[in-house]
Structure 1
Amino acid sequence: MANIAALPITVANVTKTYGRVHALDNVSLHVKSGEFLTLLGPSGSGKSTLLMVLAGFTRPDSGSLKFGDHEVIRTPPHLRDVGMTFQSYALFPHMTVAGNVGYPLRLRKVPRTEIADRVDRALQTVQLDGFGDRRIDQLSGGQRQRVAVARAIVFEPRILLMDEPLSALDKKLRDQMQIELRRLHEKLGMTTVYVTHDQREALTMSDRIAVVNHGRIMQLATPLDLYEHPANRFVADFIGESTFLPVTRRGDRVVYGDMALRHSRPAPDAAGLLLMMRPERIALTTAPVEGANTFSAVAREVVYQGDSYLVQAVLADGTEITLRRPMSGAALAAMPAPGAPITLSVAPEDAVIIDAGEV
């Protein structure tokens, strides 16, 4: 299949309520042409509702939705020319693989001879050459997922919507399919909006990620920016592991207790502040490190996890802090015993001051 002329998507002030619940609360979002954008959030956050608005299965109470320059808020799903895959795959068990993949083309009255050729090309694209005559019950989970993708792309839509398509797969296959779907997107170039609650999946696959909670977008950024510079506690807590310490502003400094913190980025203008530290960025040292933020603690619990070990420590004021060290011979030798005093250091670039709100 050739690279497809993708369309941008513009969502403006979209609201959807169910009784008193705001499933979508005045959401605005722009998806670039050819971009892979992921809607990431917990169950009930509004991410699937937003995807259903894009697909046309849910009509919002207010707002605008444009594909390119065309307003589509009142356009029915079958006229939006959007490909979609579902969590359950929604394949027809009484049809062969070719029958399933060709179904959207038959709905569009494509000539039978052309259908066969386009189905073959779609199956080649998802690496299922020669599977056209198979029954759905003869396929593995990963193969069914590929059939669902082939059916979604066979009519060459300019927008592809994917609703947690990998959630039914085991971890190893899910990891493999993440890479395959990303490669497929790069090959076809269609604008893709992908829904998941799995933060690692979102980080692996996306050009940008919109973190959604309570029907609102908490932050929209690249995977790198989201992880390194979360906008608030919710984003920091949802993306990766985090340790938080309450801090205060004192003049032009941010302090933890009586210690002025060294941090490389300006603190946000917020009433409440937190020091966020990623566990893998906290160093276990034998003495204070010059230029770093240093904390004295006691190792409460040490957990060996194969490729790393986790230390749950307690600072002098009783605050708990977690650090993770990658496993190596040197790290194993330095692994503290429970109850041992330890020194922790955090470089200024790894000391991130965030808004304490939006939990």
Structure 2
Amino acid sequence: MTGTDSLPISIAGITKRYGDVYALDHVDLEVRSGEFLTLLGPSGSGKTTLLMALAGFTRPDSGSIRFGDREIVLTPPHRRDVGMVFQNYALFPHMSVAGNVGYPLRLRKVAKAEIAARVEQALETVKLAGYGERRVDQLSGGQKQRVALARAIVFRPRILLMDEPLSALDKQLREHMQIELRQLHERLGMTTVYVTHDQREALTMSDRIAVINHGRLMQLDAPRRIYDRPANRFVADFIGESTFLDVERDGDTVRFGGRPMAVGWMPEGDGPVQLLIRPERLALLTGEAPDGMNRFEGRVQAIVYQGDTALAYVALADGPEVALRAGTRTGTAFDRLARGDTVTLGLHRDDAVLVPVEGGGRR
């Protein structure tokens, strides 16, 4: 099951209100043909509403949705020819695995012999060959999710929609399935729109991420760009661990605590900005700071061991508390840290990123 022709998706001015609340607020979004795009945002952000509008289960108040050249806002769900994977699997408990997977083909009145062949092929694609006769209640959570995925792709749709399909799985299985889904997408080539509130999941799986908040598109970009160059404080705060330091900016000159800073990237305009600090981008300095390294003095408040890494919380002399993340290899300077120690932290200019304070709220 490879070589599916995919379709681009064009979303223009989509709006959906519930009373005075905007679930979607004039959203514009282009999804490329064959792309894996993730809609990422907190609960109530509008990401699932947008996915349901694509699926046809929610009708927008205004705007346009096109699959390729076809306007589909008024097209009922069963005529949109999209595969859908739901958060709760939505499997039929009275049917076997093969019965569940073959259901979309029976609706399309495909011949029985072809149904059997295509169901077997779909189960092989999701690594469930030989499971056709099993009952749904005999399956694990991960197997049920694979069955739901097989059912969504068995009729070879050109667009696949997925609504938090891994949220019910435990952490280890969820991370394993993330890689499997990504590899499956690369084999099938379907245009895929995936909804999640899990930032790491979005960064792991996506070609691009659309960050949504209060029904508005905050940023659309590649995962690395979203993480390294967030468009505003909301995106920076939602994606990864963050601390924000108040700084003064005068043109290209940036100061923290009255001292000039070397900054690798700053937004356009002259509005208020803050310095974004990621825990893993800070370094513990034990000698002279290398060229391009900003220095911060502080005192260790706490150390939290987390297995492969540990966090040291440091109260800066000129600002708030920041977190420093490092590996837990024995014998390093970090390994010898103790609460109450005075330390010098370094942040390289390339990791010193300014973000606009505004831009995360309602308009």
Q: Which moved more, 1:170-179 or 1:267-276?
A: 267-276
Give the Å deviation of 1:113. Answer: 1.3
Give the Å deviation of 1:332. Answer: 5.8
* Structure 2 counterpart of 1:22: 22
What are the equivalent positions in structure 2 for 1:284-323 lying under 5 Å apart?
A: 284-289=284-289, 290-323=291-324
- Aligned partner of residue 276 in structure 1, secondary structure: strand
Q: Are 1:163 and 2:163 counterparts?
A: yes
2 CA distance for matches of 1:297 and 1:288?
16
- What percentage of residue pairs aligned between the two structures are identical? 63
What are the equivalent positions in structure 2 for 1:1-359 lying under 5 Å apart?
A: 1-289=1-289, 290-331=291-332, 334-359=335-360
Q: Which amino acid aligns with 2:323?
A: T
2 CA distance for matches of 1:266 and 1:88?
42
Give the Å deviation of 1:339. Answer: 1.2
- Aligned partner of residue 329 in structure 1, secondary structure: coil
Q: Which amino acid aligns with 2:37?
A: L
- Aligned partner of residue 331 in structure 1, secondary structure: coil
1 CA distance for matches of 2:72 and 2:292?
55
- Aligned partner of residue 168 in structure 2, secondary structure: coil
- 8 Å CA contact 2:34–2:191 kept in 1: the answer is yes
- 8 Å CA contact 1:288–1:343 kept in 2: the answer is no
Describe the superposition over 1:76-113 as per-residue Cα deviations: whole angstroms up to 9, x where unpaired. 00000000000000000000000000000111111111
Instruction: Compute the TM-score of the two structures, normalised by the length of structure 2.
Output: 0.97
- 8 Å CA contact 1:209–1:222 kept in 2: the answer is yes
Give the Å deviation of 1:326. Answer: 1.4
Quickly say closer, same or farther: Cα 1:12–1:251, change in 2 above 3 A: closer
Give the Å deviation of 1:331. Answer: 2.7
Q: Which amino acid aligns with 1:58?
A: T
Root mean square deviation, CA, Å: 1.2
Instruction: Compute the TM-score of the two structures, normalised by the length of structure 1.
Output: 0.98
Give the Å deviation of 1:318. Answer: 4.4
May I ask how many residue pairs the two structures share in their alignment? 359
- Aligned partner of residue 247 in structure 2, secondary structure: strand
Q: Which moved more, 1:43-52 or 1:255-264?
A: 255-264
Describe the superposition over 1:50-92 as per-residue Cα deviations: whole angstroms up to 9, x where unpaired. 0000000000000000000111111000000000000000000
2 CA distance for matches of 1:318 and 1:262?
17
1 CA distance for matches of 2:32 and 2:331?
46
Q: Which amino acid aligns with 1:190?
A: M
2 CA distance for matches of 1:333 and 1:72?
57
For structure 2, the 5+ residue unaligned runs are: none
1 CA distance for matches of 2:294 and 2:284?
12
Q: Which moved more, 1:252-261 or 1:345-354?
A: 252-261
2 CA distance for matches of 1:100 and 1:291?
59
